[in-house]
């Protein structure tokens, strides 16, 4: 297997759009005058925003690259595995039509056939679904309904109430959706009760000096954000532009500004202001420290939002690529997991090919079925030559 490319290499990462760096908005002190504490704090948050946005772009590039590698290495092996499973199932079905097998061998062959057919049917193989139902005491539909009923019972036990909004024959996916929605609702209701209780407690308390200062700074920040957006909306309103081409440009900028204001994205609003030539690039360097402090508060909130987005995206990718719990989504973990997937699939395909070779002839089939039955009845072996710390 050849080496996997590094998705974080400069060749893999998409180049940032021109003028997209938040640090282009930083405060620059004139001459040799040292920057004030407010200016340094403002510049620091801009740097953090650039870093987080770069990390999000890297995650996107990593995901795209890994999907290509999965298609290249894993998909062909999965197809070979399905083909061998199909062939083994068909071979078992053919032998079950004869009378050469003992009762125990027939039961073992039927059980193995149904397992293979069900696994393939779950991936959309209708022929295997029919073959399963032909040999199984319970049809796939009956098995799915039994599993759904068991899931409903577990969910209702956790929730402490029935899932009243779901049909009696709801699928497992529908039950999971309904259960998770009910859990989210319960969690949101509890959070709202705690929030209301906290607000009521704060309302009974007189705000201290620090709290009053923080509240005033937050109000100042919101006012500056709103003022900036209104200035953009006034200057970029497309209905006031007679030139058709310029109207299209302003429409695009206004749409971008609306989205940025909705998520309180100060950086993007300031960048739009510069791109539309509505502000002096050096104007931020002339701001008073109290105004910079208010804008820095908005930047800190934006940093917190980007950090939440990064964590959520890492979690989504970990789920998509089936990473073990607790593993971060990065090139090393994805590469190691991919190598493990390939090794596991290659071993599974090799075993299926050996199985297929044995089940072709009656004598080999009997030996194989006896071995399978013995393996299934054998208790799991626990190694006693390992130190307990090895499992920590």
Mean pLDDT within 257-262: 94
CA dist 392 and 374 (Å) reads 32
Looking at residue 9, its pLDDT comes to 47
* Of residues 39, 97, 80, 62, the one with CA closest to residue 289: 39
- Is the model's pLDDT at 376 over the cut of 90? no
Average pLDDT, the chain: 87
Looking at residue 186, its pLDDT comes to 85
Q: Which residues contact 362 (CB under 8 A, 6 or more apart)?
A: 95, 98, 100
Looking at residue 206, its pLDDT comes to 64
- pLDDT tens for 76-101 read 999 999 999 999 999 999 999 988 99
Looking at residue 380, its pLDDT comes to 57
- pLDDT tens for 173-190 read 888 888 888 888 888 888
- Is the model's pLDDT at 301 over the cut of 50? yes
- Is the model's pLDDT at 11 over the cut of 70? no
Looking at residue 195, its pLDDT comes to 87
- Is the model's pLDDT at 355 over the cut of 90? yes
Confirm if 264 and 301 have CB atoms less than 8 A apart.
yes
- Is the model's pLDDT at 217 over the cut of 70? yes
């Amino acid at each position: 297997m050849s080496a996997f490319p590094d998705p974080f290499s400069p060749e893999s990462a998409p180049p940032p759009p021109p003028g997209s760096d938040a640090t282009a908005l930083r405060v620059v002190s004139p001459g040799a005058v040292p920057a004030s504490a407010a200016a340094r704090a403002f510049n620091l948050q801009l740097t953090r925003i650039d870093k987080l946005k770069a990390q999000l772009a890297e995650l996107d590039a990593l995901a795209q690259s890994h999907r290509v590698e999965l298609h290249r290495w894993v998909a062909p092996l999965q197809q070979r595995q399905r083909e061998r499973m199909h062939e083994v199932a068909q071979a078992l079905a053919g032998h079950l039509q004869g009378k050469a097998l003992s009762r125990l061998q027939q039961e073992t062959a039927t059980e193995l056939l149904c397992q293979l057919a069900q696994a393939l049917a779950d991936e959309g193989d209708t022929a295997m679904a029919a073959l399963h139902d032909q040999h199984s005491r319970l049809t796939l539909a009956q098995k799915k309904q039994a599993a759904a009923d068991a899931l409903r019972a577990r969910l209702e036990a956790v929730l402490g109430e029935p899932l009243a909004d779901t049909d009696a024959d709801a699928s497992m996916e529908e039950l999971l959706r309904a259960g998770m929605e009910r859990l989210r609702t319960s969690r949101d209701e509890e959070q709202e009760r705690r929030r209301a209780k906290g607000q009521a407690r704060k309302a009974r308390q007189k705000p201290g000096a620090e709290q009053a200062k923080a509240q005033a700074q937050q109000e100042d920040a919101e006012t500056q954000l709103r003022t900036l957006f209104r200035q953009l909306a006034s200057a970029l309103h497309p209905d006031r532009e007679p030139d058709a081409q310029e109207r299209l440009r302003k429409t695009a900028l206004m749409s971008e500004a609306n989205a940025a204001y909705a998520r309180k994205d100060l950086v993007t609003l300031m960048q739009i202001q510069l791109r539309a030539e509505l502000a002096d690039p050096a104007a931020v360097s002339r701001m008073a420290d109290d105004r910079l402090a208010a804008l820095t508060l908005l930047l800190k909130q934006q940093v917190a939002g980007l950090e939440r987005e990064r964590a959520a995206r890492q979690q989504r990718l970990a789920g998509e690529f089936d990473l073990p719990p607790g593993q971060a989504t990065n090139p090393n973990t994805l590469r190691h997991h991919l190598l493990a997937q390939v090794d596991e699939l290659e071993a599974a395909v090799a075993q299926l090919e050996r199985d297929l070779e044995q089940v072709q002839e009656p004598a080999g089939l009997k030996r194989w079925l006896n071995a399978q039955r013995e393996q299934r009845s054998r208790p799991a072996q626990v190694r006693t030559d390992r130190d307990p710390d090895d499992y920590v």
